[in-house]
Each structure stands twice: as structure tokens, then as C-alpha cells.
Amino acid sequence: MNSQVLHGRTALVTGGSKGIGRETARLLASMGAQVYICGRDRNALTAAEGSLRTAGRVHAHQCDVRDPEACMALIARIENEQGRLDVLVCNAGMSMRGTIEACTPEVMRIMADINYLGAAYMAHFACGLLKASRGSVIFVSTLASLHGLPGMGPYGASKAALRAFSQSLRSELASWGVHVGLVHVGFTENDHDKSVYRSDGSLATIDRRHHAQSQTQTASCIVSCILHRRREMVLTRLGAAADLIYRLFPKLSDALILRYTRRNTDMYRTAE
């Protein structure tokens, strides 16, 4: 990739202090963009800003995407400081583990607030700037949004909502030349302290994934989606194969998922 292909452009990556978001910000900055990252954890933001400094110009801003006023304030800050926004990567999100029966209504609400509404709020306030720049907005989804999986129903549902939202937004902004993309992320290495919600609302640290796509590889796919203005991407070979089976062989996919569930019942009990 051309190291200066995004020179003079401005990008915002939500959930940019950790994991995939941080590495996406790193790539965008290394390509010449002025990059804003946001997150809820002030310490993580400070650490990320420091680690990204060598890549290029990165600005950290504490923002909870669940708060529409905070989203509006961040977009206003970017407009005031840069006068433009060319790329919005809606990456902020949280996962959960536990059956729907055991999951509390509060956890269900948290999944919707962070994974769906947080992205919707930020895109809503960014529309004006993206129309002016004929820019790109990318929604980071997951393989769990392609077919409901056991033990993470509310999470998958909140991410699946992004597909319909992105399709509507794409139609509404097409005449303005705005690119709207959706990336379904597959198994990706996670930070050592990555946490998910249990069904009771408490947080649990999950094991680091091995034999998975690296965060840099996933970030490269997200940036590729931006540069090539792709509509939708399903990452990893396993993800592409699963998507094909889901669409062409629904009964087979249901049977395989049911078999997997029965073999991993103890895992879901532990999560609860």
C-alpha cells in the first residue's frame, strides 16, 4: 500500500485504543491520514496514542459511543480541528457468552447499545462531513452476525443489525458518493486482557486465541475495504466457507451448529 495514499485525509476509529481498532488506526496513520481514536478507557487511550505516535498523527479522545451527545461532540471536534472527515471506522464493540435463557435483560441492552446504537449514533452525526468528502464509513461486524450461534445470541443479533443499517445508509448516501462497507471479522488474535460479558453482567477475561488471523491482518482487510470501496467482506477462509454453507445449505448448517452445541454444553454453563 502507498504510504501516503491517505495524505490530507482525516479518519476516526471508534474503539481505537485496543485490538483491531488500534491496529487499523496504526495502518491509516502510516498511510498519511490524520487519525482520531476514541474509547472509554482513558489509560488505554493514552497508551495507544503513545504506541501509535511513530506511525503518524494520532489524536485520542475519550468517548462512550453509547452516549449520543458524546458522539456529536467528537464529530464537532474533528470538524473544528480538521474541517473534514474522510473515513469513519465503527469498530467499538463488546461480546458476551451465555445462553439467551440465562442472559439478563441488562446484558441484552448493553449489546444493543454498544454494538448497534453506538455505531448508528456515530454514523448519524458524521453523515454531513462524509457527504462533503465523498468518504467512507465501515461497520465492523462478526461471523456471528451471519448465522445465530449458541451462547452469544444477543451479541450476534446486535451485530446483525449493522447489515440492515449499512444497507439503508448505502442507499441514502449513494447519490452523494459516500462508500458504506461492512466487514465480518473472523477468528482474530485478541489482547491478553480482552474481556466479555457473562450472562449475569459481570466481566470475564477470555483466553488468547491462537491459530487465528492476526490483528494486523484483520486491520489490513478493513483498510482494503476502505481503499477499494468494497460493500461487504467476510474474513478468513473458514468464515467464507461458513457463510457459503449458511446460505446454500441451511439445514446442514443448523445440524452442524446443533452438534457443536451439544459437544460444548459445559462451555456455555461455565459462561453463565
Contact 60, 109 (CB under 8 A): no
Contact 219, 11 (CB under 8 A): no
- Three-state DSSP state, 5: coil
Count of CA atoms in the C-beta half-sphere (13 A) of 247: 8
| Long-range CB pairs of 266-271, under 8 A, 24+ apart, other chains included | 267/151, 268/97, 268/98, 268/99, 268/150, 268/151, 271/97, 271/98, 271/151, 271/198, 271/199, 271/204
> Helical H runs in the chain?
19-30, 42-52, 68-82, 105-111, 118-133, 153-173, 215-227, 237-248, 250-263, 265-271
Q: Is there a catalytic annotation at residue 268?
A: no
Type of residue numbered 108: M
Task: List beta partners, residue 13.
Answer: 37, 89
Q: How do beta strands 195-198 and 203-205 pair?
A: antiparallel
CA nearest to 140, candidates 42, 237, 242, 15: 15
Task: Count CB neighbours of 246 within 10 A.
Answer: 17
189: its cell numbers: 488474535
The active-site residue, picked from 36, 155, 246, 268, is: 155
Q: Which residues are catalytic?
A: 155
